Each structure stands twice: as C-alpha cells, then as structure tokens.
Amino acid sequence: MKKKLITFLVVFVLILVVAAVGFGKPLYDKYSYGTEEADLDEYFHIPAGEEGSALAILLQDERLSDLALQQGGIIYFDMGTVRTYLTDIFYVDYKGGKVLATTAGDTYEVAIGGTAYSSLGGMTDLGYPLCFEEGDSLYLAADYVRMFASFSWKTYDRCVRLRTKWENYAAKKIIKDTQIRTLGGIKSPILRQMKTGETVKVLEEMETWSKVITEDGFIGYVENKRMASAGEITETPEDPPELPPYTSISLGEKVCLGFHAIGGPTGNDTLGSMLAEAKGINVIAPTWFSISGDDGSYRSFASADYVAKAHAAGVQVWGVLDDFNYAGETGTAVSMLNILSDTQVRKDLEQNLVRDALALGMDGINLDFEKLTAECETHYAQFLRELSVLCRKNGLIFSADNYVPFAFNNYQRLDVQGEVMDYVLIMGYDEHYHGSGDPGSVASISYITGGIERTAQMVPAEKILNALPFYTILWTTENGVTTDEYITLNNQAQFIANVGQTPIWDEETCQNYAEWTQGAKLYQIWLEDADSISVKLNVMNAHEIGGVGVWRIGYGTDEVWNLISLYAHS
C-alpha cells in the first residue's frame, strides 16, 4: 500500500512538472525580455567592408543619410554635408585642383590632396590631408572646416555626434541596468546595454517606453520605469571661428538710384538732361560695361569726364556691368557659366573691373547679370564673395540687380548678397513681360510687396533697393494670339488720350486699367503713373528698405519724380 502511494505521488509530481512546462513556457516566452542584438552596422547604415572608416553622422538628434570618413584619426565630411549643414563658403575649382574659402578679407586655398593652405598670412601646413577625392565625392577635414564655421563634433565607435546649435534640455538617468532597444517592446532587438547612472535625452515620452538618444548616438527606446529625472543639462556652445566680420558702406540716407541707359560713347553727353529730369537722385548708374567674351573681357563706354560732372552735381556713379547687351547687339555667344567657373578668368574680370572703376573715379560697381542659370549658382556666389573683398579694400560700393525672388531663381543667392554686398536691388517689374503672350500688369502691388518681403528674409532691410518701372505694356489679342509693345511712362497720358479711353482704378493691382476692342482686336493696358507709383512707394516706406531705383531715367514725368524725391528725402 505504501509503495502504491509513493508511485502515485511520483507520477502526480511528474504530471505537474509537465503541465508547468507546457503552460509556463509560453507565458515565459511572452513576458521575458528578448536577448536578440541588433546588427549595428545595419542600424547605422554603414556599408559592408567600411566598418571603422565610415561613420554615421548625427546632427543634433537626427541621423543623416550622409556618412563621415575617419582616416588617421581625422574626421572628414563630404562637400555636400558641409554645404548643406555647416557652411557653403567652400568653392571647388576642379580645373585648378584646389578648394577656395573666401572670407570678408581673404581667400584661403588648399590643393586637393594637400596638407597646407595659403592665405595672406602665407602657407600653413597642418600635417594631414585637408581635402581629398574619393569616388565621386570630395571630403574636407572637420578641423579645417571648423576654421570657417561654428560647430562641434565628437567621435564614437560607429558615429560622429555633430552639433551646430546648443540647448538646455531635461535629462533622465538610468536607475537600473537595462537595454536600449530599436523599438518600444521587450522583444525588440537590443542596441546596447545601459548602465545605471547613464544619462539620456528623451525625444518622445509614451506610456511605458520613451524614445531617447544616448550620448554615443544611439536613438532607441528605454522603459520609463528604468529612468528617473536627472535635472537640466546645459550644452556648452562652441566658440565661433575668428574671422573678420563683413562690413558695409552705406550712403547714410535713402538711396535714390536712376539707371542711365547708354548705348554708345555719345550717350554720355546726355548726362545733363538726365540729371535735370531725375530730381532728387543721389546715384546714377550708367550702363557702361557689357561682357563681350568667355575670357571675361567686356566692352566699355565709360567716361571719367561723366563721373566728374556727376560728382559736381552731388551724385554718385555706380557703373553697371551687364551680361546681355553686347551679346544681344552683336550676336556673340557668351557663356556666364564658362566665365564664372574658371577661377583665373573670374579673377581677371574682378581685378579689371575694380581697376577701371578706380581709374574712372567711380563710387561703386553694379552687377546686372540676367543670363545666369542654376548651373552658375556656386560659381556666382564665389564671384560675389571675391569681388566684395576687392570692393571693400578699395572703398567701392558693391551692388547687384536681381529678379524678384522665387524658388526657381534662387541661384541669384540673395542670402550671400545680403552678407557680402552693400546694396541688393530687386528689379520690381516684368511680372508680365515682353514676348510672354500673357497679358497682365508689369508690376502689381502684390508682386512688389511679395518681392520685398521674400528678399527681406535673406537681406537686411536697409540694404534692399526696389526698382520701379517707368514703362508699361500695351497688350493686343487677336484670334487667340497676343502681341505687345512698350509704352513709356512719359508717353502714357498722350497715348490714352489718343485712343479715347478713361482708365479705371483696379484695386487688385493698384493700377489704373483700360481695355477696349477695335474690330477683332482686344487691347489691355495696366498703367504705371503717379497713382500706382505712389502706392508702391508707400509699401517700400512701410518696409523701411534702403531706397529706390528707377528703370530708367528719360522715361519719367515731373509728377512721378516729385513723388520719388519726397520718398527718398522723407
């Protein structure tokens, strides 16, 4: 009997054990913490075979798609990363095999693959490659980039923590050894073990888990019960590089600039009549210089006598260099891309222009480049920087003319102009332009207002000049085809009288408008007159910009010039 009882108990215990195993294992599997470790090279997107040399980049709290390189203990960023996130000061001259960085007072040059850079201070050898090419990318040493941009970086096993701004944030500390996982959940793969006392920054707090970033660059999830408040962390800003600041020359009053269209040497003889018409201007901009060849040469109608006479009348002279007049007159093909992308050609153009400006006694240089394309962007920015250094050293006022800014013409680089130039002129016209076949206002008030406001996002208001049109367009539509012709401001009143029309005020454009038919032809005209110019000047005054420009002298009326003079001297 006793033996039977013992046997029964043994069998019963075995049954309990089997049952416990059968039911307990699923429960254990469900509620126990997973031990699978994440593939860190895959997590950091490091290509196979590049472990150790390629590093992920974390900018602030975000991992970039770009990678850094580590060679000989030196960290390198590719040019795309540098330009997008750190500074766009670097210019690659592939033809010359060098990288340039132009500051307010100097240009630094380093040969691709070289260990030394040159500047006004001579040659400085840092003992390691400052830049090199690998595949389709050009890499710059972080230490060299740091000479021109404010940022900090710290290197870890598989990543570089990069900071361009610093902040205060509420930190949390680990209160019990745990793990940071790829996702919230105890079965999610482990990124690494977390030790008691470590601090993390919480990016997103949820009910039981929080998304955090660790000091060494892991972005993942930690259970809330494993963390507690660690107080506020204050990040220490990096000292900015020691670079000379950009300075500007100001007239000390509102600029009132009139463009003087000069088509030949005899055009200079009209200065007296132009000054007599343009009451109140303090700057005249003669269209003297025009690019004539891919070698950076330009045609000139400039006259020192003209400058002397303008000065005697109390008016500054800012000579205009354009990229279209000579080519249009002669049929000569001129490539601004070829000119601006060749460092030697570009520098010859800059030096010749400044030389001529000084010899003539000019007060400033005005660029009117209207044939630029998106491909010119980086080369044009470098040209602006280099020419600004020469102008500043020689006391010349530096300005440029620009289309009203939109996303499609951001190659004008108004951000660079706002930094390096004295005045940035917006050509506040050609909203609807000659040959477009699209009838409409040359310069509606929304077009003007939008142009000023978008420019002011990139350029200090006191540097902005808005140029007004002294012309309009008569649009003629017949059988669905639209043609057009210019009518100057000083001829509009007589034209309207001749066609027997009475314009009405259009609130949308803030212009007087007229339309009429003659047979199968529909005529439309949005007038530029004292009424429309007055509204534009009020908008300019409200935005407190640096002044006004006019295209062009010779087209105006006394009434409009009186309004402009009152604006300029208010």
Amino acid symbol at 128: Y
Q: How far is CA 356 from the centre of its chain?
A: 31
Query: Each residue of 504-555: pLDDT tens digit?
Result: 999 999 999 999 999 999 999 999 999 999 999 999 999 999 999 999 999 9
* pLDDT band for position 471 (cuts 50, 70, 90): very high
Rounded to an integer, what distance in angstroms lies between the CA atom of residue 464 and that of residue 542?
A: 13
d(CA 91, CA 342): 12
Q: Does 289 score more than 80 pLDDT?
A: yes
In this predicted structure, the answer to whether residue 20 has a pLDDT above a threshold of 60 is: no
Rounded Cα gap, residues 117 and 123, in angstroms: 6
Residue-wise pLDDT for 124-143, tens only, equals 999 999 999 999 999 999 99
Q: What is the CATH number of domain 166-234?
A: 2.30.30.40
pLDDT of 31 reads 63
Q: Is the pLDDT of residue 461 over 90?
A: yes
Q: Is the pLDDT of residue 86 over 90?
A: yes
Question: 352-397: per-residue pLDDT in tens?
Answer: 999 999 999 999 999 999 999 999 999 999 999 999 999 999 999 9
Quick one: pLDDT at residue 352?
A: 98
- Which pair of tokens denotes residue 380? 């044009």
Q: What is the pLDDT of residue 123?
A: 97
Q: What is the location of CATH 3.20.20.80 in the chain?
A: 246-427
Please say if the pLDDT value at position 434 is more than 90.
Answer: yes
pLDDT-derived band at 449, boundaries 50, 70, 90: very high
More confident: 361 or 51: 361
Span 146-153, average pLDDT: 96
Residue 357, Ramachandran bin (φ over 0: left; ψ between -120 and 50: alpha; else beta):
alpha
Instruction: Give span(s): CATH 2.30.30.40, the chain.
Output: 166-234
Query: What pLDDT sits at residue 2?
Result: 60
Mean pLDDT of the chain: 95
Query: Which carries the bigger pLDDT value, residue 178 or residue 11?
Result: 178
pLDDT tens figures, 172-213: 999 999 999 999 999 999 999 999 999 999 999 999 999 999
Q: What is the pLDDT of residue 23?
A: 55
**Residue-level pLDDT at 58:** 96
What sign for the dihedral angle of Cα 416, 417, 418, 419?
positive
Please determine, for residue 257, whether its predicted confidence score (pLDDT) is greater than 80: yes
Domain 246-427 has CATH 3.20.20.80: yes
In the predicted structure, residue 29 carries a pLDDT above the cut 90: no
Per-residue pLDDT, 525? 98
**Distance of alpha carbon 47 from the chain centroid:** 32
C-beta separation of 138 from 78 below 8 A: yes
Confidence of residue 49 (pLDDT cuts 50, 70, 90): confident
**Closest to 398 (Cα-Cα) out of 406, 390, 409, 410:** 390
Edge to edge, the sheet with strand 511-518 lists: 481-488, 471-478, 521-526, 511-518, 504-506
> Percentage of the chain with pLDDT > 90?
92
pLDDT of residue 1: 57
- Which residue type, as a one-letter code, is found at position 479? N
**Dihedral angle of Cα 494, 496, 500, 505, to the nearest 10 degrees:** -140
Confidence of residue 51 (pLDDT cuts 50, 70, 90): confident
Q: What is the mean pLDDT of residues 314-328?
A: 98
Is the pLDDT reported for residue 493 higher than 90?
A: yes
